[in-house]
């Protein structure tokens, strides 16, 4: 075992293909080192990602799809989530994305009614996921439901989360 130290590695033939390691091996980049990825990307590339949450309660009207205004970012790797105006994720890079959401219904002091509430995931304005959760309010005041989807997004698609509540 040895160490090779250099500032530049190029192919001899000019073929444009340089192989590091063999199939099944891992190439490691030490912490503190920077890896520059060509514009075409690498296999196994990390895509833009974010996590955001709603910092306070948001009221919604009965039986109306309402965009959830997730206004506080936990992280946003590529500044692709708008947490102040459109409340949407626009990846800017085509790929497969795992989208998830949790919506909590709080019926407050209401009793003896049934709430049906739905998380809704929309891709470029079109509903791609919707679920319903039924809550008997005199038994429960709060309940959460989740929405998840794996979406093929192009660089200009956008994803938004909506909620709908129906009182019975």
Judged on CB neighbours under 10 Å (0-12, 13-18, 19+), 90 is middle
Give the per-residue pLDDT at 111.
54
Question: What CA–CA distance (Å, rounded) separates 40 from 91?
Answer: 16
Span 111-140, pLDDT tens digits: 555 567 788 999 999 999 988 776 665 555
Question: To 5 degrees, how large is the angle CA 32–CA 38–CA 39?
Answer: 125
The secondary structure of the chain in percent helix, strand, coil, rounded to multiples of 5, reads 0, 40, 60
Domain ranges of the chain: 50-167
The confidence score (pLDDT) of residue 6 equals 80
CATH of 50-167, one of 3.90.1150.10, 3.40.50.10090, 3.40.50.300, 2.60.120.40: 2.60.120.40
Q: Give the separation between CA 68 and CA 54, rounded to whole angstroms.
A: 8
Distances (CA, A) of 29 to 6, 32, 36, 77, 122: 15, 9, 11, 19, 37
- Each residue's pLDDT, cut to its tens digit, for the chain (168 residues) gives 677 788 777 777 766 677 777 777 777 777 777 766 665 555 555 679 999 999 998 887 778 899 999 999 999 999 999 999 999 999 999 989 999 998 877 666 555 555 677 889 999 999 999 887 766 655 556 667 788 999 999 999 999 999 887 766
């Amino acid at each position: 075992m040895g160490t090779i130290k250099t500032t530049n590695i190029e192919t001899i033939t000019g073929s444009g293909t340089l192989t590091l390691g063999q199939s099944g091996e891992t190439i490691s980049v030490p912490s503190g080192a920077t890896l520059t990825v060509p514009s075409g990307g690498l296999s196994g590339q990390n895509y833009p990602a974010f996590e955001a949450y709603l910092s306070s309660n948001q009221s919604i009207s009965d039986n109306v799809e309402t965009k959830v205004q997730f206004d506080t970012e936990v992280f946003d790797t590529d500044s692709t989530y708008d947490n102040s105006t459109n409340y949407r994720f626009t990846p800017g890079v085509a790929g497969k994305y795992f989208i998830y959401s949790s919506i909590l219904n709080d019926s407050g002091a209401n009793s003896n009614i049934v709430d049906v509430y739905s998380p809704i995931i929309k891709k470029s304005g079109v509903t791609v996921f919707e679920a319903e959760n039924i809550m008997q309010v005199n038994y429960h005041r709060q309940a959460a439901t989740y929405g998840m989807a794996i979406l093929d997004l192009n660089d200009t698609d956008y994803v938004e989360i909506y909620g709908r509540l129906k009182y019975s």
